[in-house]
Structure 1
Amino acid sequence: MNIRKIRKNNIEIAVVDSDETLITNGSTALDFFATIQYDSGCERFVLKQSHLVSDFFDLKTGLAGNVLQKIVNYRMKLAIVGDFSIYSSKSLSDFIYEMNSGRDVFFLNSEEEAIDRLSVI
């Protein structure tokens, strides 16, 4: 795993690069975000869709809600980058729409979009 720090609009963002699944449950999510925050000094993160176990995108498992609640509770911000059109779930589509309308968690198509969204105060 590699962490790149990007600075835009005087805000530092940690971009995580890895070929591995990094978050598999709520406990690993909390440990992961705490480690990244400590190592990078950032409170805003960019992850790839592939960094999350596939159960994350099945809302019935509750994993997405569990993980994203930790982001909100600890006052962090997260952008997940990927192609979410591969999922046919209407509830997931609605969930992504709602998240993208908020201020803490975003599902976006590119790293550039993620950095732009996270670099707003």
Structure 2
Amino acid sequence: MVTLQTIHDVPVLMCAAEGEAISRESDALDLIGDASYQGAQWVVIPAERFDEAFFQLRTRVAGDIIQKFANYRVGIVILGDISRHTAASSALRDFVRECNRGRQTWFLADAEELRERLKG
């Protein structure tokens, strides 16, 4: 289930916490298609929707999914607590820090942090 919301004049496709695990590029393409159809600039996906492999950089799942969003110029937000994953991997910690410096991919703790980021 997805809903379109506008946050600070930015159209955002919000994915529900319940639903199929996001584990491959085709899952990303489905969300990108949905976002494009609804005019969303960002897709917000709860962290719990991602397959465990997403948080293990050696699998390349995160890179492949994030690259699809970048190719189609749709922002992606992974929303929620991923501290157990970052505690286990310094590479993932570094990856998250780098992503959060940009304007394409964000790992954010909650909706309030998302609102702050979208202010401009």
TM norm structure 2: 0.88
Quote the Cα distance in structure 2 between the aligned partners of 1:37 and 1:119: 22
Identity %: 32
Structure 1 unaligned segments of length 5 or more: list them.
Answer: none
Superposition pairs for residues 92-111 of structure 1, below 5 Å? 92-111=92-111
Q: Are the structure 2 counterparts of residues 24 and 99 from structure 1 closer, same or farther at C-alpha, using a change threshold of 3 Å?
A: same
Aligned CA RMSD, in angstroms, stands at 1.6
**Conservation of the 8 A alpha-carbon contact between 1:29 and 1:67:** yes
Partner-residue secondary structure (3-state), 2:4: strand
Number of equivalenced pairs: 118
Cα distance per residue 1:7-39 (max 9 Å; x no partner): 23221111111412341111221123212431x
For structure 1, which segment, 108-117 or 87-96, has the greater mean C-alpha deviation from structure 2 after superposition?
108-117
Paired position in structure 2 for 1:30: 29
For structure 1, which segment, 22-31 or 53-62, has the greater mean C-alpha deviation from structure 2 after superposition?
22-31
Structure 2 unaligned segments of length 5 or more: list them.
Answer: none
Paired position in structure 2 for 1:75: 73
Report the residue type matching 2:110 in the other structure: S
Paired position in structure 1 for 2:42: 44
Cα distance per residue 1:63-86 (max 9 Å; x no partner): 100000111111111111111111
TM norm structure 1: 0.87
